[in-house]
Amino acid sequence: MFEFASKKEGLLAGPHVLIKEVSFPKPLEELVYQLRNDDVIGRMAAAAGLVQFKDDPRTVDGLAASARHDPFWAVRRSAIEALGKLTNTRIQSVLKNACGDAHSSVRAASRVALGDLKDRGLAEFFKERFAKDESDLVKAEALRAMGRTGDASVIPFLEKSASVPSHRDMVGRAATQALTEVRKR
């Protein structure tokens, strides 16, 4: 076991203390390569790292390919979350496609990202996705996304959805949050 002393402050740092963190920024090409070829944790880190290159079309292309085709759901979710932080006009179609993913966490992340667009034109899409999905988590995110659109026409749907039975009333609480969001606007 090692202990380090700071001569300047006279402090001792014991085990499990990070003295200094060094980061090495990676270029776009390296992150795109890592997104395609690394292990799961590396691919997830690459997806998050690509956000800094939001204006480069290769970023959207790499993240979109990962969101569609990566074999592990957590990497697909990370790619969706990264796409949600971009302002590119092409991301909406990728996010809509991810709403049909086999894993509920990916579908939920796509609804969060789409909701963050605050596009009133997506309200009907969210209603449709709510009706077709069996996951309470995904249904709840569809309602929250609907609330972020600010479209007052969804209020009756949200009020009706508040009484939908779900585990720990997840759907009902999401409907209430969405109603609050819509009425606030």
In the predicted model, residues of the chain with pLDDT beneath 50 are: 1-7
* Angstrom distance (rounded) from CA 24 to CA 15: 24
pLDDT at residue number 12: 57
pTM score, two decimals? Answer: 0.86
Task: Kindly report, residue by residue over 148-184, the tens digit of the pLDDT.
Answer: 999 999 999 999 999 999 999 999 999 999 999 999 9
In the chain, what are the domains?
A: 27-117 (1.25.10.10), 121-185 (1.25.10)
Residue 50, by phi and psi: left (phi above 0), alpha (psi -120 to 50) or beta? alpha
Report pLDDT for 8: 52
pLDDT at 156: 98
Cα distance between the two ends of the chain: 57
| Predicted local confidence at residue 71, as pLDDT | 98
Q: Rounded to whole angstroms, how far apart are CA atoms 179 and 146?
A: 9
**CA–CA gap between residue 83 and residue 95 (Å, rounded):** 8
